[in-house]
Structure 1
């Protein structure tokens, strides 16, 4: 799931809305231009797409990809999804999520609670990322915003902070990156910009470039 795919599908969605509104719901897919989408607990649906609206997926539901431009995506407990993607909005998942693709935002935070499995990468530009006891098969890639790879989480594909382009960071604080107790990050941790990096003494990471890890042994890192 990529931004190119999102742009293409939403452009097609807008075009269809002008000529054939009845064609927007077929084969279990739910598509809108203006309005939120809700999938109730234990229900099944196909792809979920909206332009101006949020998406809410209930407990134990099963859906394919969920995409919006202006809105948040909220996922309940024990839910199975495809990829989750929004431009202006956050993604928040309850316990025991299974996402069969990645999670992506541009301006919004991402949080996955205990027992989560993400079988793609996690990406954001301006937003924090928080994981608790979650397995990520891909990498984590971001530019601005804090990152917590929380207790018992495992990121297979490494971490990359990309250097901001065309942004004035004079009055911005450096992102705070925390690798928590018993967390594990395989692959390299690459920082192309300044960050505050805290790594718990029980955590394991790959090689770190561009930052110096500050060890801590308490449940949470020190606050400056």
Structure 2
């Protein structure tokens, strides 16, 4: 009886405004307008193309997909993937257990964060905030712009032909490629405890890359700097110069 009452209360909260469901999926058709939040528990949320969601999109135990050209508030998930279609406009993205994939030319007016899951940004994605993962890789495609830091603890970072505020890594490779511009520092944090990797991570600063701030290395790495790259002061590691596409 108690569990039934809890479920009933949750359902009432979900349906009080916007669009909500429990133990079933939510499907919003192309071009629809939702005046409020979209919330769900135990089921997928699928939002079509060119929709307008005046509130946030939140889910527990199910995937979220947002169609191309849709405008919405924050997209939040706990236990499920998040997919954002091309040219969407979103206020922020966060996920606890699941990957985040963002399509080309998306604008995010806030952070993109995951706890356990990868973050993949397609070409020309703009993020007015941070891109951060705790356990998962980060990939940023060409033409991207992240105003603040790109950071992960356990996972690789790959950034191509993009502009970012700063880069922070720890237990994973870091590759800055194809003329990427880092406005601040590149920082490889010291790690404690048991190390999983048998070899130190590689840090590659590729052709025509600019790191305006310092390169601070606090752990063992293999550091490669292209002969055409430009960086601030390098401390904590001896760089190896290379030419060509990769060392």
- Is residue 74 from structure 1 mapped to residue 67 from structure 2 by the alignment? no
Relative to structure 1, is the Cα distance of residues 176 and 43 closer, same or farther in structure 2, using a 3 angstrom cutoff?
same
* 1:17 and 1:33 in contact (8 A); partners too: no
2:68 maps to what in 1? 41
SS of the residue aligned with 2:95? Answer: strand
- 1:190-209: per-residue Cα shift (whole Å, max 9, x none)? 11101000000000000011
2:59 maps to what in 1? 32
Point out where structure 1 has 5 or more consecutive residues left out of the alignment: 1-15
- Is residue 21 from structure 1 mapped to residue 11 from structure 2 by the alignment? no
- 1:69-96: per-residue Cα shift (whole Å, max 9, x none)? 0000001111101211001100001100
Relative to structure 1, is the Cα distance of residues 52 and 18 closer, same or farther in structure 2, using a 3 angstrom cutoff?
farther
- Is residue 178 from structure 1 mapped to residue 204 from structure 2 by the alignment? yes
Deviation at 1:20, TM superposition (A): 2.3
The structure richer in strand per residue is 2
TM-score normalised over the length of structure 2: 0.79
* 1-structure distance, mates of 2:215, 2:103: 30
- Is residue 134 from structure 1 mapped to residue 127 from structure 2 by the alignment? no
Matches within 5 A, 1:201-212: 201-212=227-238
1:166 maps to what in 2? 193
Q: 1:63 aligns with which of 90, 107, 131?
A: 90
Relative to structure 1, is the Cα distance of residues 164 and 43 closer, same or farther in structure 2, using a 3 angstrom cutoff?
same
Determine which structure has greater relative contact order: mean sequence separation of CA pairs < 8 Å that are 6+ residues apart, divided by chain length.
1
Relative to structure 1, is the Cα distance of residues 56 and 154 closer, same or farther in structure 2, using a 3 angstrom cutoff?
same
* 1-structure distance, mates of 2:90, 2:15: 21
Matches within 5 A, 1:77-156: 77-81=104-108, 82-137=110-165, 139-156=166-183
- 1:159-185: per-residue Cα shift (whole Å, max 9, x none)? 11111122245x521010000000000
Tell me how large the CA RMSD over aligned residues is.
1.6
* 1-structure distance, mates of 2:126, 2:96: 22
Higher CA-based Rg: 2
- 1:124-151: per-residue Cα shift (whole Å, max 9, x none)? 00000001101002x2112100000111
TM-score normalised over the length of structure 1: 0.87
* 1-structure distance, mates of 2:244, 2:209: 14
Deviation at 1:18, TM superposition (A): 8.0
SS of the residue aligned with 1:46? Answer: strand
SS of the residue aligned with 2:15? Answer: helix
